[in-house]
Amino acid sequence: MGRTALVTGSTSGIGKAIALKFAENKYNVIVCGRNEREGMNVLNRVKELSDGIFIKVDLRYKEEIDKLVESVLEHYDRVDVLVNNAGILVYKPLEEITYDEMIDSIRVNFVAPFLLMQKFLPLMKRWGGGVVINISSIAGLSPYPKGGIYCSTKAALISLSKVAALEYAQYNIRVVAVAPGLVETRMLYQDAPKSEKDRFREIMASRVPIGRIANPEEIAEFIVYLASERASYITGSVHVIDGGLIAGRREAGIEKKQQFNLPRYII
C-alpha cells in the first residue's frame, strides 16, 4: 500500500504544499482541516499523484481529534509520518488577547499535536517505527511583542518535540521540530491592509538577509526529506528555515516596517 502521511492543516498554505509534496513522492496522504471545499480541492490534486483521503476536523475539540484518528485507521493500516502543521496566529498585546483566543490557540497549536502524538506514538511503536514532524515557528525561538500566545505555544511545541524524541528514540521513532520564518501564506498577511499587500511583502522581504520570503514548497521539500530514510539520524532537533532572519539583526526596511506597527521579528 506504500507509506502514509497525515498532515494537519493541509487545506492551504504550508500544509497544502506538504501534502502535495508527499503525494509527489508516492505517499498515501491524509488531508485534513476545517474547510471542506479547500480540502477536497487539495485531495483532488493529491489523487492525480497518489492515493489519499480528506477528513474534515476542528482540532480545537478532543472528540473531533478522536474521530480523526478513527477515520484514519479505517482507511490505512498504519501512519508512517505525522505532520502537526495546523496553527492559529493571534497578534495582539497581552492585555487585549481574549480568553477564547488564548484557549483556541493553545488547543490548536499545542494540545492537538500533543493528543495526536499520544494517539500515534504508541501505534508507531507497535508498527516498528515512524516519524513525527511538528511545525513550530521562529516565533518559538525568537519572541516578539504582540506574540504572547503564539510565541508561547510554538515554544511549547518545540519542547514537546524534544521530550517525545527522547522517549521514543529506542523504538525507531524520530521526532523533530521545524521552525519556518516568513512564508508566502495567508497567515503572513492577516494583519496587513489588503490594499497594501504588495508593499507589505516588499518591506517584510527587505528584513530577510537572503532578500526574499520563502514559498511553501521550499518548506515542504525539507519536510519530506526529514521524513525519509536519508534523515534517519535526525531526531530531537529544531530546524530553522528563515533565510537568516533570526541569525542577527538586519536594519534594512525597519523604518518602513513601522508603518505597519510590526515587530522586528514576526513569523
CA dihedral (217, 222, 172, 176) positive or negative: negative
H or E stretch including 22? helix 13-24
Count Cβ atoms below 10 Å from residue 150 Cβ, excluding itself: 25
- Residue 258's identity, in one-letter code, is Q
Bridging pattern class, strands 4-7 and 81-84: parallel
Count Cβ atoms below 10 Å from residue 43 Cβ, excluding itself: 22
Catalytic residue among 27, 76, 91, 150: 150
Q: What grid cell was written down for 200?
A: 507589505
Q: Which of 244, 252, 130 is nearest to 203 (CA)?
A: 252
91 part of the active site? no
Q: Which residues make beta-bridge pairs with 31?
A: 7, 54
- 130-135 sheet: strands from edge to edge: 52-56, 28-33, 4-7, 81-84, 130-135, 173-180, 238-241
Q: Are the CB atoms for 266 and 147 separated by under 8 Å?
A: yes
Query: What is the C-alpha separation between 73 and 68, in angstroms, rounded?
Result: 9
The catalytic residue positions are: 150
